[in-house]
Amino acid sequence: MSLFSQLQLLPRSFWVLVGATFVNRFGVFVVPFLTLFITANGNTAAQAGYAVAAYSLGGFIAAWIGGWMADRLGRNVTMAVSALAGAVCMMAMSQAVDWRTLAALAFITGAINEAGSPAGAALVQDIVPPEHRVTAYVVQRFAVNLAWSLGPAAAGFLAQYSSFFWLFVVDATTSAVFGVIAWMFLPRGRRTPREHAGWGHAWRSIRANHAFLALFGACVCAAWVFRQTNTTFPLHFERSGLPLDLLGLVLALNGVMICLFEVALANGMRQWPVRWVLGLGYILMGASFLTFLISGSLTAFTLMMVVFTLGEMSAFSRQQAYSASLSPEDMRGRYVGFLSLAWCAGNTASSALGMMLYDHHPEVLWVLNAVLGLVAALLILYTRKTQTHES
């Protein structure tokens, strides 16, 4: 079946979700520049790392609450509440100066903003048949990264020539738009009865699912590596004497490459074993940071982003579908929520410890990223997949 034919089979509600996600992701202006916003207010890099880590720490609460809400209350309700409340929190953050206040607000914002993520992923599993999910996830990533290719470039010019405040305004506005669309136009999806919606049932299932636990460990490592592109990467770029408007363009390269090449890459690797594709992707993501051991030039930053993006395209186009294949239908929200804990753990550690390590031994950090990419690959490749819920 051709790609065009596969796209025609995707349901209308999926395309509504994709469009709303594009609007929301285009406006993710704050996170890539949060460390710069915090240090521009007179705080140190380590203090900025603590504040960014607080945002990730809020995701731990989001994973538990968001996973339960998605299964019990419905997917669209969870996404709408998360997005609308997150917009309010984002504007509150824009008024903070001291890193301790920023850390507290970042924690609350992270807990609220990220609570909608399990619902979004679970809704795709609800409305898209198993045989079309890889295509659906590739399309969704195309929309996200098209937005990412445009958003950071616009954010970089705002940061360079206007004010950081406007980054928060745009971010909050697009979140609010997403919340309204989710509430009015998206389905609730599958709901689990109260007696089966608790975390106890889900935990017993997860504990026996060794392949899913291995994926959890791999995601902790991948999250550490991925977070570095939003923390030490922009800081290293600035300290290398390069202008911020170029930073936005280099960050946008990630989205441009994904938009241009991921669909073709996913189609070309369609017959490859899923776990091998995941492993290759994790290795490339981690190894890309070794470029900084050689040079801090614009060319080095660009090369790093190219290699990193090749790894991201290989891993992330298959990771969600692989995770879905391990998730029972009546626990999708909680499974997604639990897996997001891995990203919370990796993001939190990466934000705080990674920034501290960068301040003292940046070259050690680059090597550590490469090692973690290899560990993630080994976890996936050497754990047998024992449970399947989709083709």
Q: pLDDT tens-digit profile of 12-49? A: 999 999 999 998 888 777 777 777 888 888 888 788 88
CB count within 10 Å of CB 28 equals: 21
Question: pTM of the predicted model, to two decimals?
Answer: 0.73
Tell me the C-alpha distance between 95 and 115, whole Å.
Answer: 23
Report domain extents, the chain. 13-381
Q: How confident is the model at residue 345 (pLDDT cuts 50, 70, 90)?
A: confident
Give, as one character, the DSSP assignment of residue 388: -
- CA-nearest of 386, 66, 339 to 219 is 339
Alpha-carbon distance 38 to 119, whole Å?
A: 31
How far from each other are the two terminal CA atoms of the chain, in whole angstroms? Answer: 16
Question: What does the alpha-carbon distance between residue 191 and residue 108 come to, in Å, rounded to a whole number?
Answer: 27
Phi, psi (deg, nearest 5) at residue 5: -65, -40
Fold of 13-381: Growth Hormone; Chain: A; (1.20.1250)
Rounded-to-integer distance, Cα 49 and Cα 232, Å: 9
- How high is the pLDDT of residue 196? 67
Residue 37 CB contacts under 8 Å (≥ 6 apart), including other chains: 30, 164, 167
User: pLDDT at position 389, please?
Assistant: 45
62 Rama class: left (phi>0) / alpha (psi -120 to 50) / beta? alpha
DSSP state letter for 353: I
Over residues 153-162, the mean pLDDT reads 74
The stretch 240-252 carries a mean pLDDT of: 84
Mean pLDDT estimate for the chain: 86
Phi, psi of 84 (to 5 degrees): -70, -45
DSSP 260-310: HHHHHHHHHTTTS-HHHHHHHHHHHHHHGGGGGGT--SHHHHHHHHHHHHH
- Distance between CA atoms of residues 4 and 20, nearest Å: 22
